[in-house]
Amino acid sequence: MPALTLHRAHGPGQDPLAEGLLTMLVLVAACLLLAGYGRGVQELWARRGRGRVLPGRRVAAFGAGAVVTLAADRGPVHELAESSFAGHMAQHMLLLLVAGPLLAAGAAGLPLSLAVPRSARRLLARWRVAPPLRRLRRPTAYALLAAAAQTGVLWFWHLPGPYVAAVDRPAVHAAEHLCLVATAWLFWAPVLGASRHRAPAPVAVLLLVGAMLPASALGAVLTFAPEPVYPARVLGPDPLTDQQLAGLLMWAPMDLVALLVALALLLRWLLRMDRARPGGLPAGPGPAGGPPVPTADTEGMLR
């Protein structure tokens, strides 16, 4: 089987001009997004004070997410993705596990809404209060929808047909990356976004674990398949090994990140509950103005 020195994420015979225009469109879209976010942050801080409502760390996270998105699509990461399926999977993991969470941590909803003209802002406000969208905006409903969207997009773009189409056609490749970044952004928003839009901690933990299982299943399929699932021309010099490594790159990092974040959320939730009930032992009402008096049940527990 011939070695494939430079696997073509953008297929053979593509017009360099068309590819250059596509790259320019991606850069222009990223610049517009950053400019809109920056404009909204400026207006918000001018009204409420610098660092109020939207802390500087969230602004930095959003900027870092945009940089990681562009870095994953160009430069050395892009060259690695051109050489093998495992490199392509590493590119996808950067978008799903680094860029998406950083963009979600930027809490971009309010700044971007402030950046649009007033007429569009009023239209958005009317949509937000419409009954269907109001139901979808509930943190739990939104979290379930976001998890379903990311799972569907992840499986769809790693089916042989869509994946080969993305390898051969730059426009499809760009659409693939847009879908991955957008759904990762939506998925992580109820976990890392603004506190008023976050799902309750138990729901967020279930969301992370529930979304981890389908991704693990896909990684397991790619890792343990007895033969290559994809055509040899879109894989590395050793197709089966390349596919197995790609499966592990999907499987291990996604599980690790989901479990670590879920444990952190659960621990923070338990600590918050503990602070709300210091001591953790019920006490009966004491004399007026005096300390609480332990009840019989409490004394039995202490014994």
Asked if residue 37 belongs to a domain, the reply is yes
Tens of pLDDT, residues 194-245: 777 787 888 888 888 888 888 889 999 999 989 999 998 888 888 999 999 9
Tens of pLDDT, residues 131-141: 776 676 676 77
Residue position matching structure tokens 């007026």: 288
Asked if residue 82 belongs to a domain, the reply is yes
Interacting residues of 62 by C-beta distance below 8 A, sequence separation 6+: 37, 102, 103, 105, 106, 107, 108
- Judged against a pLDDT cut of 90, whether residue 123 lies above it is answered with no
Distance CA 47, CA 41 (A): 10
68, 90 Cβ separation under 8 angstroms: no
What is the mean predicted confidence (pLDDT) over 111-122? 79
What is the mean predicted confidence (pLDDT) over 58-72? 91
- Judged against a pLDDT cut of 90, whether residue 181 lies above it is answered with yes
User: Confidence band (pLDDT; 50, 70, 90) for 291?
Assistant: low
Share of the chain above pLDDT 70, in %: 82
Q: Which residue has the higher pLDDT, 86 or 51?
A: 86
Q: What is the pLDDT of residue 101?
A: 93
pTM: 0.79
Asked if residue 218 belongs to a domain, the reply is yes
Asked if residue 54 belongs to a domain, the reply is yes
Torsions phi, psi of 293, nearest 5?
A: -100, 130
Query: Which residue, 175, 215, 195, is CA-closest to 93?
Result: 215
Interacting residues of 220 by C-beta distance below 8 A, sequence separation 6+: 247, 251
Torsions phi, psi of 218, nearest 5?
A: -65, -45
Asked if residue 3 belongs to a domain, the reply is no
Q: Domain count of the chain?
A: 1
- Judged against a pLDDT cut of 90, whether residue 254 lies above it is answered with no
Asked if residue 283 belongs to a domain, the reply is no
Asked if residue 234 belongs to a domain, the reply is yes
Asked if residue 23 belongs to a domain, the reply is yes
What sign results for the dihedral spanned by CA atoms 109, 111, 116, 117? positive
Three-class SS state of 293:
strand
| Average pLDDT score over the chain | 80
Domain coverage including residue 80: 16-277
Torsions phi, psi of 288, nearest 5?
A: -55, 125
247, 93 Cβ separation under 8 angstroms: no
Q: What is the pLDDT of residue 298?
A: 42
